[in-house]
Amino acid sequence: MGTATLGTLAAADGAGERGDRGRVHSARADPVPPPRTTEWALRTLRNMSLRQKVGQLFVTVVYGADADAEHPTNRAEYGVASPAEVVRRYLLGGVIHFSWTDSLHAPGQIAELSNGLQRAASGSGAGIPLTIATDQEQGAVTRIGEPATVLPGNMALGAARDPRLANRAARITGRELRAMGFTQDFAPVGDVNVNPENPVIGVRSFASDPGLAAELTRAQVSGYQWSAAARNTISATAKHFPGHGDTSVDSHTDLPVIDHDERQWRRLDAPPFRAAIDEGVDAVMTGHLKFPGLDPSGEPATLSPRILTGLLRQELGFEGVVVTDSLRMEGVHKLHPTEEIPVLALAAGADQLLMPENLPSAIESVIGAVRSGRLSERDVDRSVLRILSMKDRRGSVSNPLVDPEAVERRIGTPHHRRQALRITDDTVTVLRDDAGTLPLGAAVGSVFVTGWGETTTAALAAELEPLRLRTETLHTGDSPDSEVVIDATERAGRHDVTIVLTNGAWRDSGNAQRELLWALGGSGKPVVAVAVRDPYDAACVDDIQVWLATYSYRKVSMESLARVLFGRVSPTGRLPVPVPEPDRPDRERYRFGHGITW
């Protein structure tokens, strides 16, 4: 690790604040390079122009499956045709991939795209490799599906209660992402989901208990990064600081307000982030959240020096990269013009600026702020050093390219798939079995599979085929009408048992899924209901005497569900969140930790 100082990193002159006439004073006050700085980062920074430095601060989307192929959206947003041209023109520090950017088709294609973008970066400016990122949280947020190994996600891991399984899941995901050329995963989610009404976190959280969430967050950071000295691994990113768990508002569309005071924050929200930092997490992502008890100014956390510098840097001691959540989200746009947001985020303590609304304008606004003195180039240097050091520590500098020919041998391997199934077996939770129906035995000769999710019901039915059962499937969707309900009830009467899958039945204002459950409960045949996302569904219909929760509708969860239902494995999952009464959120139907085993 390097210890030399740079001339640009002179001693800082006090804590940050916003002064007269809108002048922004940086809140950061490190007199020397960040402690985790590498010698390569120091050497590289000395030869960089201001524009090259500012380019390193930005991570954004590029469009297309091939680095050198034209895509019309690149032309519309950036004025150039191909992903590689976007990287070269704007000297980008990183890119992030989604399916909607036409970037994620197949592992081999992703690896070729990664290599093409890295070659573009090496041939431009200072020749610094890119951060290539995605949000492969698993479960509900799975950007890359099969043939990659798919896992059930955080709340399912919370039900398993085993940090070794959480670590193993992160290792599988991290290794496969690295084989495709990714260098950073925006995971794990460290938010403590204490509010069932949360529309954006929910099953993305490990638990409502801060201790359990912290234990599993730490385990996943270790799994992604393997060890602090490991090379050719992937950077983990704990999110969404200071904690997105207690809100009923989605920060993609509005600015949530969380009313925790500092004492509550330290007890409820901080533990997972503290654990991630103690484990050496490379990056922490900010949330676009208003926390009046932490910063009475009304600024969202992403733009708050009190939160990013005061709490994250100074109180929690985080020395790594602070990355903003997407700057296209509505939650960060409520109080300021678009062109001000990147400058304010940097002044607050952010290092990486994710997906700005207008990249060319954002870059120029930061350069202009440095040249005018609104931002200090010293602080830009610190951010760049953190970013460069993160790339160096994870092997991106020494090995920026991957072997596309080897991808098929490393993605979705039989070993990884066996591990994924073993992990998922421990997540299925039996919440209710009043009739003693489970496990389903030899007397069951036919099964009717119905409810939410066309691919999910089909996946479950496919898992029953090896059992030589007569199986019928009817996908009813999330809002079945009366004709579909009648049809499903008639079919249920022709089978020995019905398995009905639900997703969001507890919050369905039209009661459509509940109408289906009520009707099936009156069919005269046994009914097994399974909440394949929020476990809160299990309290919404009393007439159903058997309820399970998988926390995930992925294929691997349906495989483990079938194994539990028919007694091939014993259920061991326990609720990582309490399930409240549907009309009395202050009363618990199923307590935290509940789960029937045999």
> What are the backbone angles phi and psi of residue 264, rounded to the nearest 5°?
-65, -40
CB atoms within 10 A of CB 423: 23
Domains in the chain with CATH codes: 24-410 (3.20.20.300), 428-590 (3.40.50.1700)
Local structure of 138: helix, strand or coil: strand
Mean pLDDT of 93-112: 98
Query: Which is it for strands 579-581 and 584-590: parallel, antiparallel or unpaired?
Result: antiparallel
Q: Where are the beta strands (DSSP E) in 316-392?
A: 321-323, 353-354
Residue type, 544: I
Q: How far is CA 430 from CA 162, 436, 508, 547, 549, in A?
A: 17, 12, 23, 6, 7
pTM above 0.85, yes or no: yes
> Residues 105-120, buried b or exposed e (16+ Cβ, 10 A)?
ebbebbbbbbbbbbbb
Q: What is the pLDDT of residues 569-583, one digit of tens each?
A: 999 999 999 999 987
For 441-473, the pLDDT digits (tens) are 888 999 999 999 999 999 999 999 999 899 999
The pLDDT assigned to 582 comes to 83
pLDDT over 90 at 185, yes or no:
yes
pLDDT in tens, 556-565: 999 999 999 9
Measured in whole angstroms, the distance separating CA 247 from the mean position of its chain's CA atoms is 17
Tell me the C-alpha distance between 14 and 583, whole Å: 52
Tokens representing 400?
Answer: 């920026």
* Residue-by-residue DSSP string for 16-57: --B-GGG-B------SSS-TT--HHHHHHHHT--HHHHHHHT
Sign of the CA dihedral with 561 first, then 566, 570, and 575 last: positive
Mean pLDDT value of segment 106-122: 97
Name the H helices within 449-481. Answer: 454-464
Q: Looking at the predicted structure, is the pLDDT value of residue 359 above 80?
A: yes
pLDDT of res. 253: 66
Note the pLDDT of residue 249: 67
Are residues 593 and 574 in contact, defined by beta-carbon separation less than 8 angstroms? yes
Nearest to 180 by CA among 151, 152, 144, 150: 144
**What is the pLDDT of the chain when averaged over all its residues?**
91
C-alpha to C-alpha distance for 159 and 429, rounded to whole angstroms: 7
**Interval 501-527 mean pLDDT:** 91
What does the pLDDT look like over 388-433, one tens digit per residue? 999 999 999 999 999 999 999 999 999 999 999 999 999 999 999 9
For the annotated catalytic residues, the residue numbers are 252, 325
Q: Quote the longest CA-to-CA distance of the chain.
A: 80
The predicted pLDDT at position 256 comes to 84
User: What percent of the chain shows pLDDT beyond 70?
Assistant: 92
Q: Report the 10 Å Cβ neighbour count for 490.
A: 11
Average of per-residue pLDDT across 149-166: 98
* Helix, strand, coil distribution of the chain in percent, nearest 5: 40, 15, 45
Model confidence at 10, pLDDT cuts 50, 70, 90, reads very low
Q: For strand 497-502 and strand 446-451, is the pairing parallel, antiparallel, or unpaired?
A: parallel
CA distances from 471 to 12, 531, 567 (A): 70, 20, 18
Above 70 in pLDDT, residue 31? no
The Cα-based distances of 222 to 82, 121, 166, 241, 389 in angstroms read 36, 29, 10, 19, 18
* 591/364 Cα distance (integer angstroms): 53
